[in-house]
Amino acid sequence: MPAVKRLRKSRPVSPRLSVYRWQWPMLASLGHRASGMTLALFVPVYLYLLTGLTASPDDFVRMIDWMHSLSGRLILWLAGTALIYHLTNGVRFILLDAGWFEARESMRFTARVSIAVGVFAALCLGVYLW
C-alpha cells in the first residue's frame, strides 16, 4: 500500500491557467467557446423576439420598441458580435481540420485574423446600432 501512495505523490500536478503563457490560438479557442455559450444562452431571447414579432400588431410594436431601447440594442450587439466571431473562428477551425494552416506561425496568424475580424465586426455593429 505505501508504494501506491508514493506513486500518487510522484505524478505531475495538472497545470493551471497561470502556468501557461497566453497565446493567440489559446485566446481564439477560449473566445470561440465563450461565443458559442453566448449564442446558446440567447436562444430564449431569440424565441421571445420571434413570438413577439409574429403574434399581433401590438406585440410587434412592443418588440420593436424594446429592440430600440438601450437594453435591446445591447443584447442585439452581444448576440451579433458572438455570432460573427463564432462564424469566423468556426471557419478557421474547419480549415485547421482540413489540414490547412497547421504550422505554428500560420495558426497564430489565423487566430489573430479571427480575433481582429471579431473586434472589427463588433465595432461596426456597435456603430450601426447606435
Q: What CATH number did the domain enclosing 122 receive? A: 1.20.1300.10
pLDDT in tens, 84-99: 999 999 999 999 999 9
Average pLDDT, the chain: 89
| Residue that has been written with the C-alpha cell 458580435 in this structure | 81
Give residue 88's domain range: 25-129
pLDDT in tens, 27-74: 999 999 999 999 999 999 999 999 999 999 999 999 999 999 999 999
Nearest to 101 by CA among 1, 13, 24: 24
Number of independent structural domains in the chain: 1
Return d(Cα 87, Cα 98) in angstroms, integer. Answer: 16
Predicted TM-score (pTM) of this structure? 0.80
Return d(Cα 91, Cα 71) in angstroms, integer. Answer: 30
- Find how far residue 57's CA is from the centre of its chain: 34
Q: Is residue 85 part of a domain?
A: yes
Q: Is residue 9 part of a domain?
A: no
pLDDT value of residue 102: 87
Q: Report the pLDDT averaged over residues 94-108.
A: 92
pLDDT in tens, 110-129: 999 999 999 999 999 999 99
Q: Is residue 78 part of a domain?
A: yes
